[in-house]
Structure 1
Amino acid sequence: MSEVEIRRSTRRKRTVRAYREGDKTIVLVPAHLTRAQEAEHVRDLVARLDRRERRRAPSDDALVQRAHELSARWLGGRAVPTSVRWVTNQNSRWGSCTSVDGSIRLSHRLQGMPEDVVDYVLLHELAHLIEANHSKRFWALLSDFPHAERAKGFLEGVVWQQR
C-alpha cells in the first residue's frame, strides 16, 4: 500500500476527498472529524482509488483475455497472441507486435484512455499477426471495427497536444 497523507482543514466543512500524487495518496478531511470517522473515510476512499486504477490499467492477464475476445469478434479468431503486456519503454508508438513469436506490447501511455481506443490499438496489433505490414489486406481486417476512425482521431489529438 502506498503512503497516505491526511490533510485536515478547518475550512473544509463536509466533504472528504482523496487523490494520488505520485506514489502517495492525499486525503483531505474536515478538521472536526473524529479519528474513527477519518479512518473510515480514508479506508473507503483509498479502496475506491485502487478500484478506479485497476479499471484504468487492466492487468496483462486482462489484456490477453481482451485480445482473444477482439480476435474472436473482429478477426474470426485468426489472431492468437502468445503474450500481451503493458510496457513502459514505448514512447513513440502506441503498440508493437512481433509476428514471429506472436507477442504484443502496448504502451503504458494508453492506460486510462477510453476502452475503445485501447481496443483499437490492440486490434491493430492483432491484425499484424495475420498481415505483417500495412497493406490493403491489413486495413481490410480493421474495416469492420466501428470505433477505428474515432480512436485514430483521439490518438492523433493526444500526439498533437504533446507537441
Structure 2
Amino acid sequence: MPSVSVPATTRGGMPIEVRRSARRKRTVNAVFRDGVAVVSIPAHFTRHQEAEWVQRMVDRLETRAAAVPAPDPAKADSELEQRAMDLSARYLGGAARPSSVRWVSNQNSRWGSATPARGTIRLSKTLIGMPSWVVDYVLLHELAHLIEGSHSPKFWRLLESYPQTETAKAYLSGAAFAAARGLKGEMAED
C-alpha cells in the first residue's frame, strides 16, 4: 500500500489541524475556525483513513465556503453595497458609510480602492471566485479607508476585529505571487 500523508494546508493556504477523539466513534467533522481548517476524526482511524477523510472533508469545506459566485450585473453592485453595510455594522460599528460600492473590471493591479472624499469603493472583478472571507477582508479594508485614509496604526486597529485579516492577507499575497508568474489552477502532481 502506498504511503499517504495529510496535507499541511488547504488549497487556499489555510493550515489544517487534525484532532483525534476517543469519544468520536464513526463521525468526521470539519470546520474553519480562526483561520484554521479543523478536522475531527475518531482516534482509531488508521493513517490511511485519516489522510483520506481529511482530504475529503477539506475539499468539502472549501467547496462550500469557497467561491463568491459570478455576480449578476443587474444586482451585483447593490448586493455588494449591502454586504459592505453589513460588514461595517459588524466590524466597524457602522462608522464606514460608503456612498457607492461596485465591482470594476479596469483595476488589475489592486484588489480594491476607496475614495474617502466621495465615499466610494471599487472592488476588482479579479476577486470573483475567491473565498468569501477574502472578499470580505478586501471590502473591510476599503471601508476602513473611508475612516482612516492611510495605513497608519489606527487603520490597522480598525481591522483587528475581523478574524480572517491575517489569513486573507496571506491568501491575497499568494494569489498576487501566482498571478505575477502566470500560474493558474491547481498544482500538478509529480
TM-score range relative to shorter protein: 0.5 to 0.7
For residue 67 of structure 1, the aligned residue among 70, 75, 84 is 84
**Corresponding residue for 1:122?**
139
Deviations 1:63-104, CA, capped at 9 Å, x for gaps: 000000000000000000000000011110000000001000
Q: Across the two proteins, how many residue pairs are aligned to each other?
A: 111
Which of 1 and 2 has greater Rg? 1
Cα deviation, residue 144, structure 1: 1.1
Cα RMSD after superposing both structures: 1.5
Q: Structure 1 residues 54 and 153 mapped into 2: Cα distance closer, same or farther (>3 Å)?
A: closer
Deviations 1:11-32, CA, capped at 9 Å, x for gaps: xxxxxxxxxxxxxxxxxxxxxx
For residue 128 of structure 2, the aligned residue among 89, 92, 111 is 111
Q: Structure 1 residues 54 and 151 mapped into 2: Cα distance closer, same or farther (>3 Å)?
A: closer
More helix by share: 1
| Percent of pairs with identical residues | 59
Q: Distance in 1 between matches of 2:130 and 2:68?
A: 13
Structure 2, unpaired ranges of 5+: 1-66, 182-190
> Are residue 157 (structure 1) and residue 174 (structure 2) matched?
yes
* TM-score of the two chains, using structure 1 as the length reference: 0.66
Q: Structure 1 residues 54 and 111 mapped into 2: Cα distance closer, same or farther (>3 Å)?
A: closer
Structure 1, unpaired ranges of 5+: 1-52
Q: Bigger relative contact order, structure 1 or 2, given CA contacts below 8 A and separation 6+?
A: 2
* TM-score of the two chains, using structure 2 as the length reference: 0.56
Q: Distance in 1 between matches of 2:142 and 2:68?
A: 23
